[in-house]
Structure 1
Amino acid sequence: MPDFFHPFPYRISPYVAEAREHLTDWTRRIGLIEREAARKRFAKADFGWFAAMVYPTADATQLNLMADWFAWLFLVDDQLDDGSIGRSPERARDIVDGMRAVLESPDHGAAAVADRDGPVAVSALADLWLRTAPHATANWRRRFVQHLDDCLTVAATWEAGNRVAGTVPDEETYIEMRRHTGAIYVCMDLIDIVERIDIPDSLYTDAQFRAALDAACNVVCWTNDVYSLAKERALGEVHNLVHIVEHHRGLDTSGALDHVCAATSTETMLFLEKERELLAARPEHHAVLVPGLAGMRTWMRGNLDWSRSTKRYRPVEGDEEIRPEEYLEASLMKVDQ
C-alpha cells in the first residue's frame, strides 16, 4: 500500500472505553443492531475508537453522541451501498423523506423517537437529533440539516441511479459528490458541537475557508476509498476513487492506488497552505478558526489511523463471501434485503 503524507499527531480521547461500552448498549437499545451476524460485523468496525480519535477533545457525553452519529451514518450507508434499497431510488427517496421530516420537525424529533412502526433508521435519527439540536444555534442546525439532506439525497438518487444504469461516474463529478455521499461535511459540522463554536456564514462561505474544508474532506474521503477498495469491489461497487481512476485512465490497480495516494498527499499540503492563509487573513475569527481547523486536522489523522486498522475493510478469508443479507438489518429501512 502506498504511503500518505500525514504531518498531524496522533490524538485520542481519554473516554474511548466509555464510548465503546455506550455504543454497544445504544445500538442494541435503539434497535439498530439485533442479529448476531450484524453485531459481530458492527463490533469489528470499532466506531467508538474511531470517534475518540477524530474528536479527541470531546467530553464523555459528547463522545458518546459522536459515536452514536457514526453508528447511524455507517449503518445507513451500508443499507444504501450494500442492500437492495441502494438499487431502488424511489424506495430510498421515501426513506429520505421520512428522515428529512425528523430534521425539520419543531420538536427536534421527540415524537418520532417513540415511533416503532416505521424504519428504525428514522426513529434512531430522531433520538440523535433530539440530543443534538437543542444545544446548537439555529445557524448551525440549518447548515447541518442541509448537509445531511444532501448526503442522503445524493446517495439515494445519484449513486442508486448509477448502480441501476451501470454507470461509472467521471472523476470530477465523483470527487464533488463523494464529499456528500461520504457524510464528511456532516462530520465536520459536528466539530462545532464538540468545540462549542458557531462559525458564521460570512466565514463559512469565504473562499479560503471553503478551500481548506474541501481539501480536508477530500483527504478523508480518498483515504477511505483506498482502504475500502477490496470490500467494495467484492460487492461490485463502482463508487470508489481508485476504481474510477483505474477505469477512466486505463491504469492497473497498483497505478491507480499510487495516483490516489499521491493526490491525497497533495490535498493535505493544500489544506496546510489554505490554513496558513486563512489564519493570516482572518485574525478576528481566530476564536472559532483555531479549534475548527484543529478539528479538521484530527479528522484527517484519526481517519487514516482507523482506516488502516479497522476490520471493517479487511478482506474476507478463504472462500468466505461477503453476504449483505447476513448483516443488514431489514428493520432499519423496513425493506427485504
Structure 2
Amino acid sequence: MATRTAPELPPFTLECPPIWCPVPARTHPQADGIDDHLLDWVKRTDLIRSRAAAERFHAAGFGEFAARVYPRATRLHLVAEWQAFNWIVDDRLDEGYLEGTYQEREDVVRDLVAQLPLDLRAPRASGPLTAALSDLWQRTASQHSWAWRERFATHYVDFLAFTLLPHSDPEKSQESPSDVTAFVRRRRLNSGCEMSFDLIETANAREVPASVARSDAYRAVRLAANDVISWTNDMFSIRKENARGDQDHLAAVLRNDTGGTWEEALTHASDLVEALTRDFLEAAADLRAVRGVYGLDEDAWTLVDESLTDLGEWIAGSLSWHRWSPRYRDVETTEAGAVPTYIERHLV
C-alpha cells in the first residue's frame, strides 16, 4: 500500500499580493451598528454560545461585509443575517468536519435543504441551524416569485453539497490538490456566490426579469464575478488554510499545476483575477449591447442594468472587506486533526 505524502505547505508569513479592481468600493450608509445587530441575532437564535466564537464572529465584521457587498440594500438587516448564517455554516462544515462522521454531516445538510420548501410550508426544525435557516427562508422567499425560489434553492443546495465534498474522505483535504479545471468547477459551486448574487434581488426588493436571469449571457457575467470573488477569497485565506493543512484552494492548485514557489503561485492567481475582472466587465458590456433582443421596456431593463452594477460592487465590496477584516489575518493554529476553539459544538 502506497504511503501518503503530505504536500508542502506555504510559509505562514506568506502575504496576498495586490489585486486589481477598477470598480469603486462603497459602503451602505446604514452600516453603523450592523455588526452589533448580527451578534445579537446569532446569540438570540442560539447559533453562537461560546465566548471564543462570539469574539471571533464580531471581530470578523460580517455585518460590515454585507454593508460593502450590498451597498444600496433596502433590506440590509435581512441579507446581513443571511451572510452571517452562511459564514457560520461554512465554518462548521469546512473547519468542523473532523467532529463526527461524514454521514452525520450529510444528514445535517439534508436537514438544512429541507428548510427551503418552494411552497413555504415550513418543516419542523431540528436545532439552531435548521431553525435559523427556516426563519430566513420564510421571511425571504415569501417576497419572491416561484422562479426566484427555485433558483435560490438550487444554488443553496450546490453550496452545501460542494462544501461537504472535499471532506467526504477524511484525508482528502490533506492530499495533493486537484487539477485546475476541476478546481474551477467545484469552486464556483462551493463559493456561495451564486446564492449571494440571488440575494441582491432580496436586498433591493426587485427581481431581475426572468428572460434575462435565465439567459446564458447573464449567466456568463455571474460566473466571471463568481470566479473573481472566490479566487480572491482563496488568496486572502491562504494563511487560514495553511493552519488547517488544507490544500483545496487556488494557490495550491496552481502551484501543483505549474511548479514553482508559493509566491509565484499567488502572483499567477493575482494575474488570473485581473484577467477575469476584465472579462466580467466585457461580459456586462456585451449584455448591455444586445439589450434590444430581450424586448424589455425601460423600467424592466433598468433592473437588469442595476443588477450588473450590483455585481461589480459585489466584487469591489468583497475585496475591500477582505483587505479590512482580521478574519484571515488573525488565525488560530491547531494541531493536525484538531478543531478550532471557535467552532460551535452544539450546532450538529
TM-score normalised according to structure 2 size:
0.87
How far does the alpha carbon of each residue in 1:199-221 deviate from its partner, in whole angstroms, 9 at most, with x for none?
34432332321211111111100
Question: 1:180: how far off?
Answer: 1.4
Report the equivalent of 2:143: 135
**1:41 equivalenced with 2:56 (yes/no):** yes
How far does the alpha carbon of each residue in 1:58-102 deviate from its partner, in whole angstroms, 9 at most, with x for none?
12xx11111111111111111111113588432221111111111
* Contact 1:11 1:53 survives alignment (8 Å): yes
* Contact 2:155 2:194 survives alignment (8 Å): yes
* Contact 1:85 1:92 survives alignment (8 Å): no
Instruction: Provide structure 1 residue ranges, at least 5 long, that are not aligned to the other structure.
Output: none
Question: 1:297: how far off?
Answer: 0.8
Question: 1:170: how far off?
Answer: 1.4
Report the equivalent of 2:185: 176
For residues 3 and 234 of structure 1, the distance between their equivalents in structure 2, rounded to whole angstroms, comes to 22
For residues 135 and 105 of structure 1, the distance between their equivalents in structure 2, rounded to whole angstroms, comes to 12
Residue among 259, 264, 270 paired with 2:273: 264
More off after superposition, 7-16 vs 78-87: 78-87
Report the equivalent of 1:314: 329
* Contact 2:228 2:315 survives alignment (8 Å): yes
Report the equivalent of 2:129: 121
For residues 149 and 260 of structure 1, the distance between their equivalents in structure 2, rounded to whole angstroms, comes to 28
Question: 1:248: how far off?
Answer: 2.4
Q: C-alpha root-mean-square deviation of aligned residues, in Å?
A: 2.0
Number of equivalences: 323
Residue among 327, 332, 339 paired with 1:324: 339
SS at match of 1:17: coil
Q: Which AA in structure 2 matches 1:178?
A: R
Question: 1:316: how far off?
Answer: 4.0
SS at match of 1:103: coil
Question: 1:164: how far off?
Answer: 3.4
Q: Structure 1 228/87 Cα, relative in aligned 2: closer, same or farther at 3 Å?
A: farther
For residues 23 and 276 of structure 1, the distance between their equivalents in structure 2, rounded to whole angstroms, comes to 36
Residue among 90, 94, 101 paired with 2:114: 101
Report the equivalent of 1:243: 252
Report the equivalent of 1:4: 19
For residues 218 and 152 of structure 1, the distance between their equivalents in structure 2, rounded to whole angstroms, comes to 18
More off after superposition, 46-55 vs 124-133: 124-133
**1:226 equivalenced with 2:239 (yes/no):** no
* Contact 1:195 1:291 survives alignment (8 Å): no
**Aligned residues: percent identity?**
32
For residues 129 and 54 of structure 2, the distance between their equivalents in structure 1, rounded to whole angstroms, comes to 16
Residue among 289, 292, 305 paired with 1:290: 305
More off after superposition, 88-97 vs 256-265: 88-97
For residues 251 and 236 of structure 2, the distance between their equivalents in structure 1, rounded to whole angstroms, comes to 10
SS at match of 2:207: coil
Q: Which AA in structure 1 matches 2:281?
A: L
The structure 1 segments of at least 4 consecutive aligned residues displaced by more than 6 Å after TM superposition are none
SS at match of 2:234: helix
For residues 101 and 85 of structure 1, the distance between their equivalents in structure 2, rounded to whole angstroms, comes to 24
Question: 1:10: how far off?
Answer: 1.8
Report the equivalent of 2:282: 273
Report the equivalent of 2:315: 300
| Structure in which a larger fraction of residues adopt helix | 1
Q: Structure 1 119/238 Cα, relative in aligned 2: closer, same or farther at 3 Å?
A: farther
**1:199 equivalenced with 2:212 (yes/no):** no
TM-score normalised according to structure 1 size:
0.90
For residues 79 and 17 of structure 1, the distance between their equivalents in structure 2, rounded to whole angstroms, comes to 28
Q: Which AA in structure 1 matches 2:58?
A: A
Question: 1:162: how far off?
Answer: 5.4
